[in-house]
Amino acid sequence: MTSAPKTQLTALELVALGLVQQPAHAYELFQHFSPDLPLGMIWHLKQSHLYALLARLEQLGYLAATVEPQGARPPRRVLRLTDAGRATLEAWLAAPVAHGRDMRQEFLAKLYFAAQRGPEAARALVARQEAATREWRADMQAQLDNAAQPYSRLVLRYRLGQIDAILTWLAECAATLV
Amino acid sequence: MTSAPKTQLTALELVALGLVQQPAHAYELFQHFSPDLPLGMIWHLKQSHLYALLARLEQLGYLAATVEPQGARPPRRVLRLTDAGRATLEAWLAAPVAHGRDMRQEFLAKLYFAAQRGPEAARALVARQEAATREWRADMQAQLDNAAQPYSRLVLRYRLGQIDAILTWLAECAATLV
DNA sequence: ACGGCTTTACTCATCGTATGAGTATTCAGC
DNA sequence: GCTGAATACTCATACGATGAGTAAAGCCGT
């Protein structure tokens, strides 16, 4: 009995889809994660990790490969988005992240791709994220108002502080992306 | 050829060691991760996850088990810290976390155990973390001063904002733990 | 008092991701 | 002409996490 195919991709898998918007081979994609490049600031991964991840995306039908022989050098497997891949990518890019903990990698990556498409796309993403984050804030504040134990209050205050810092930063972003 | 035993425990494994300061069986430890209890606010795990993790710690020599039969009910495997386990735990509890991303779970857990030992222990941990965090801040500021690309600056500004929120919160903590 | 549900307590096979290590060729520099 | 880096990909394995299962005991209603 074959197991059900997984439905939800990890953030890193979605980032990979984002990179394949321009068809490319795995080795080329890997360069994007060099520490001095934007995505390399955010994510560190090993070569074999990326290859495995791309193979998975291919097998799931989000990517398709065509082998391009090139004279002597080892042939390249050029990857490109399938329709399913593109649809999944667009849905991901349009949505804000769901948790504060997803800001530091996932949101920054979304913003990277959005910014590539121009300032309007980036501003739209920032605005949507701002709305979502304000909801977290209200939720968190409510929880804090109901929390009695000192330790719980400490934890909730920590989270509230992080959320407020996110809101400040998002406002700054919106202002920067004129 | 037996592979080298792993040296660095994960944060969750260290949290488990913290819980076993009072000898206890796995099922009992699992209750601590109920969503309404302090550690449950911070970490969510499945029962089988905890059992697997404890077995690992036992096999690595950080925990030792003694089976306690109890009349009819299934016998309990009561776990307690070995000397190695206690030493590792103490070292962990004494040290601040190394990255901002480790605050939300690992540091909050350390603080939980430190607070159990009394306000002085908690204050000491907070003070050490404050010192470490101020170093991150200086580092980050320096990177920001050297960063030219707008996207890099955005990323660094995000991190700086989070770090500042941490510092504010730590100061608040210090004030609360009178 | 008895049928069913929850709690206690632990086991185990399996999955899926991540990692290290390896392969083989080409190119650039000295 | 040699060495070392870069190009390009493969593969077995390790390890953490998960679902599902076991099995007896306690509790609750009727």
Quick check: B110 and B125 in contact, CB under 8 A? yes
How many CB atoms within 10 Å of residue B81? 20
- Give the model's pLDDT for residue A85: 98
- Give the model's pLDDT for residue A75: 79
pLDDT beyond 80 at A74:
no
Domains of chain B, by residue range, sit at 1-94, 97-178
Q: Measure the CA–CA gap between B125 and B83, rounded to whole angstroms.
A: 22
Q: Measure the CA–CA gap between A160 and B172, rounded to whole angstroms.
A: 13
In chain A, what percentage of residues exceed pLDDT 70?
97
Chain B residues contacting A, CB < 8 Å? 38, 41-42, 101, 103-104, 108, 111-112, 115, 149-152, 154-155, 157-159, 161-162, 164-166, 168-169, 172-173, 176
The model's confidence at residue A72, banded by pLDDT at 50, 70 and 90, is: low
| ipTM (interface predicted TM) | 0.93
pLDDT beyond 80 at A14:
yes
The model's confidence at residue A7, banded by pLDDT at 50, 70 and 90, is: confident
Contacts of A101 in chain B (CB under 8 A): 104
Q: What is the pLDDT of residues A28-39, one digit of tens each?
A: 999 999 999 999
The fold adopted by the segment(s) B1-94 is Arc Repressor Mutant, subunit A (1.10.10)
Q: Give me chain A's average pLDDT, please.
A: 95
The model's confidence at residue B2, banded by pLDDT at 50, 70 and 90, is: low
- Option in A112, A161, A166 nearest B169 (CB): A161
Q: What is the pLDDT of residues B43-80, one digit of tens each?
A: 999 999 999 999 999 999 999 999 987 766 777 899 99
pLDDT beyond 80 at A154:
yes
Cβ neighbours of residue A149 closer than 8 Å, sequence gap 6 or more: B38
- Option in A38, A154, A173 nearest B173 (CB): A154
pLDDT beyond 90 at A1:
no
The structure tokens 């001063």 sit at: B145
Q: Measure the CA–CA gap between B142 and A17, rounded to whole angstroms.
A: 33
pLDDT beyond 60 at A104:
yes
HSE-CB at B82 with a 13 A cutoff on CA atoms is 13
Q: Which of B6, B167, B160, B33 is nearest to B105 (CA)?
A: B33
Q: Which of B77, B84, B89, B72 is nearest to B28 (CA)?
A: B77
